[in-house]
Structure 1
Amino acid sequence: MLKHCSMGRFELCIVLVLSEVLFLPFTHELQTSQGQVLMQIRKHLEYPSALRSWESYFGDLCNLPSTEHMSITCQESAVTELKIMGDKILKMGDFNGFAVPNQTLSETFSMDSFVTTLSRLPSLRVLSLVSLGIWGPLPDKIHRLSELELLDLSSNFIFGSVPAKVSTLVKLHTLTLDGNYFNDTVPDWLDSFSNLTILSLKSNRFKGQFPNSICRIKMLTAISVSHNELSGKLPGLSTLTSLHVLDLRENHLDSELPVMPKGLVTALLSKNSFSGEIPEHFGDLGQLQHLDLSFNYLSGVPLSALFSLPNVSYLNLASNKLSGSLPDQLNCGDKLGFVDISSNRLIGGLPSCLYTSDNRVVKFDGNCLSIDSQHQNHGSYCKEAIIRRKQSRGTEFMVLVAAIIGSILVIGFFALGIFFLYKRNRARRTYEQHILPKAVQANSPSGVCSELITNARFISQAVKAGTQGSPVCRLFSYEELREATNNFDMSTFMGDGTAGQLYKGKLESGVYVAIRSMAFTKKSSVQNLKVRLDWLSKLHHQHLVSFLGYCILSGGQDDPSGNKVFLIYEYVPNGNYRTYLSENCPEKVLKWSDRLTILIGVAKAVHFLHTGVIPGSFNNRLKTNNILLDEHQIAKLSDYGISVITEEIEKLEVKGEGSKSGHRKQPLGDDVYNFGFVLLESLVGPIVSGKGETFLLNEMASFGSQDSRKRIVDPVVLTTCSQESLSIVVSITKKCISPEPSTRPSFEDVLWNLQYAAQVQATADADQKSDSTS
């Protein structure tokens, strides 16, 4: 350009050249960089159909027209909003061992690399990646997107915990993680989001208590944590003055109903374990439109003011323990269109506003009302409940008075004793204070010897350390294992199972462990074996025996018989479930409610193995002697995931396993079928040696009549169960061991039925206890 410039226009040419050099390439480079990042994101997501339009578009992606599945917004050549909606939507019934893995991205997908790529769009304010099959734990580097105001990662397969560094995204006003597999506690630092208005964590596996930190987020308008495993007390929410929607359905919350904010519009609290009476202040929630308190343990007379709230349109109080009668002159709000008070213990008549309106749907079956006798219980059923409740209240009052008086006397005597002891001998008092904990420990009321308590403490510390960020899975040296087992002395030998020999060891730290020794041939790939072992180390669940690490010993080319892998697990001290079903130890035999608790724990663990990890773990050797009980009688499943390891170990004899092709055809069916026999043994007791599946199936066929059950079912079960609870388990057991795999239930269905049976049994036990007290 310079050689074509005349002398008079030379300065102008210089300016033009400099502008071309300095400015045009810079702008072009920035656009290219952002475009390259978007294309890299598309590659990470394995070219989803939602981004198909990117293939034929050669312009600036910022100008690409939005669709219902994709939109990009840019400002000053930087991407500020990215929304992608995929088609990998998980539907009910997809938990069958095939659909879940097929709905995820391939094994080559790396969540860490994907988030690293996303972080190269630092101006992002809105990021929505829904139903794209993304899987893996969420990396803490997501915090690099410091401008985020909305984050939506729902309907994917993200598991583990929400990383703490997410708390630095202080500009967030919407956080949506629905429909994933997060299985840690709900973070207690959520109040870091002072601008948060919408918090949605529903349909995950969050556990622990509802965090108090949520109550300090003043801007919240909606909280949805339904379909999780939250337990314990729900704190008061009155400080959340902006809250309009509260959805806590299907958790395990078991407190009384707390104080609610007055501006609440929708409250969904069904299928928990809330108890006590409906608080009076619920009648002051003038903005409330939708209230669902069904399937809890609420008692007392239903609050009349609920029916006349000015804006209420939906009111569900079904399946509680509500009693008494509704007033004849009950007023119903003009907008009330649906009422369900069924399956309670209500007596008397039905108020006219619930009985005569054509514009209102009312359900009232399963009470003791004086109308519609065909669908009502006998009046004595509900009256007895009221009497028991009054007696219980009187007893509670007397106990409270006695406790207060007793406490005053104890405090007085205690203070007087301290005074005399202090005056007589300070040194002696100090000595007694030092020896008191030892005396208590030596005489533990649990009946467990001090050595087991010590071992349990070490094990708990080891497992706890692993769940708080320390590496649970570590490489053990062969020398460590030899020292832990006294060179694998026979005194440490625990058995020779279908997957190697088992030894009890004691590590240098004092932690007791179980060590499984398995042989493998030289043909096996050590690298592939390590990958599978690392996968096994990521399976963390309270009802799984914790996998602590491994050691691979190579005997060299000349000695393939010396190739071994050692799997190190936590040591579970109290034996296996089968021994607690045996009549040989009558003092240990478990009653029905205890058996249900153990079965539910194992079912939760297996459901986690199927759906809570990617890829899922199937063929988990479900049998009663692989269910171990710790010192607190908590069930822990052992030998899970072994089939994944043995696939990589050639020439290892695994008895009782079918062909690999057979496993792949029915991966979920095998676990459901085998668990059916665990259920059956829980009903009839351990099967006598020499009688196997044929005997069990014949026994199952005899469950049709009540007389046959009395002949077959374990007497301990018959004397400690309710007939309804027993029938539920018998029914699901029959389905589990169906000869036709396609007719067997999902493990989610199995778990639901067991939890329902336990709930029915708990109600029966409570009623029986109340009757005996009366």
Structure 2
Amino acid sequence: MGHFECFILLVVCEILFLPYTQELQTSQSQVLAQLRKHLEYPPALQIWENYNGDFCNLSSEHMSISCQENSVTELKIMGDKNLKVRDFNGFAAPNQSLSEKFSVDSFVTTLSRLPNLRVLSLVSLGIWGPLPDKIHRLSELELLDLSSNFFFGSIPAKISTMVKLHTLILDGNYFNDTVPDWLDSLSNLTIVSLKSNRLKGQFPNSICRIKTLTDIAISHNELSGKLPGLSNLTSLHVLDLRENHFDSELPEMPKGLVTVLLSKNSFSGKIPEQFGDLGQLQHLDLSFNNLTGIPLPDLFSLANISYLTLASNNLSGSIPEQLNCGEKLGFVDISSNKLIGGLPSCLYSSDNRVIKYDWNCLSIDSQHQHHGSYCKEAFIRGKQSKNTEIMIVAAAIIGLILVIVLLALGILLLRKKKGARRTYKQHILPKIVQANSPSGVCSELITNARFISQAVKVGTQGAPVCRLFSFEELREATNNFDVSMFMGEASVGQLYKGKLENGAYVAIRSLALTKKYSVQNLKVKLDWLSKLHHQHLVCFLGYCIMSGEQDDSSANKVLLVFEYVPNGDYRTYLSENCPEKVLKWSDRLTILIGVAKAVHFLHTGVIPGSFNNRLKTNNILLDEHRIAKLSDYGISVITEEIEKFEAKGEGSKSRRANIVTYPCRSHKQNLGDDVYNFGFILLESLVGPVVSGKGETFLLNEMASFGSQDGRRRIVDPVVLTTCSQESLSIVVSITKKCISSELSSRPSFEDVLWNLQYAAQVQATADADQKSDSIS
């Protein structure tokens, strides 16, 4: 065949195949349009409307598409229908899910016409119904994320044929069958996350055979029974089984574990000694279980352990005085147990270590320990336990001596009489074995295993009780309010650092009041403030009210005592002045999520709610683990009363002095103020600290720059740009704009803010995992 004939053949082939290529592109676009219709035209896909261009590489704040060889390979859509208001026949209320016309079967059928999909993420789109088996037609999938929808029923068994899956995330749905026992068919699976469903039954043994797993997260479900040994999972780094109903003893764990979260189950028995060999372990939470015995000493000295909580169990006895603590150990919580005796020197709070030990029967800090019959039982058991240990050791020594003596006698008698050896075996040895049997120990352990701590019953979670401090106690703690203990002027009042008699550090806010301020009224407000307990709020420990000299019913000063948070404020970690401290994007998201959770709790978790919470980056404090804790919350409840009195005349003050008033729910504008102020916190997280007085001007002139890549490169903190994914950044930029909207009605709820931040963190985590995987490969 000549060159000319070959040329003609090539042209003919191109002509023949050209319509097919064009048809393939059209079919993919048609599938995308059909999916949009199935999802009832969500706002996230509004960009598709009247779009005539190439869908490949199209992206927005809540959606992205990637293609390869004219086929869609990645489809990520994040909707806004995540709010689960109430149950409705096993799934969410219809006003938050797609309409009754929606067919999940038809939707998945349409989806399967994208056969080359490798990444599928459909989050918070209101999709409801049982997930169809035909999802397995997407055989090329490597990542499947269907979080925060309304799927119910079983996880389809056909997923077991999707052998390329390495990430399966079905969090926040209503799956209510058992955890599949076929997961080991997915030989490449590294992450399985089924959090916040209604899964029941036992932990499947099949999971124990997936040696590629790095993360197992099945928390907030209804799993029960025995947790099998997981030591074969040599790649496992994260195990999260919180808030289930496991009631077995703790099994052996893989030695490579970094994070173990097993709180709020019913695990019983002693902490296995093998836990003391987990050299990579950084975060261990065994709180709110029924564990017994003395806390395992080796846990405290692990090389990498930084966070250890054994709170609200039935641990008893005394901790060894010679206990060693690891250098990285920064937080320990052994509160709400039955521990007796003193504390080892390494378990005293310091600038570098926070220790919580309240509500035991310890011989220190008696004001925050149990008393009476509760401790009497603990002392008896501790003494019995100690006596039992002594008896066992003594019996073993005596037994060993007897064996040696009897063996010597036996040898001697053997020389004199050959039959003595048989008599020795039949009559002497059985008595020695009985003498070494530790009678009574097993029944005691069984009794302890059935004990349910009082903290679990009342749901206190070990929260400290607000107490009344004396002025002398606080004056001594601050060395008579010495200038060396002065931490500066707060938004309201002055702040001092103090050291209590038990060695614990506190922050003391000195607040001057109007002389006619009612002590009765103030106590009501302070008692309300003491009920605001949240892991991301600086804990309010107590107060000291200083009354007027001639009238005990009025106050002129109050000292508020809070926990001391050692690592400074969030603003410092955003500043270019301290480059070694500047936080990368994922760390900033973690802090922002913590603060958003705290504010959402202040708005909705207490009655009445707390608003106008003085949200600023320098009121976000970081503890030794860089866990965010919001300060200055609820202060407006006190200060608004002061301002109200100062605004009125003395006669008005006198008439109102003895009227008890409760903090009331503020107007909608006040709610918006917290959202608006949090928007500034988000802004500073994006661009770095905003100079005082520059904020409003900066917003007016620069916010439009976020809309372009060049604009972002110009104004966004370089640390953020180099550590973030563009999708994650876009989500936060979008919610920031909404928070600082000049129209109050356009601002989102804090629930919306929180969800967007959590989604941004999830997107960032996926991007980080992909980048890590690429670097390894």
User: Normalising by structure 2, what TM-score?
Assistant: 0.48
User: Normalising by structure 1, what TM-score?
Assistant: 0.48
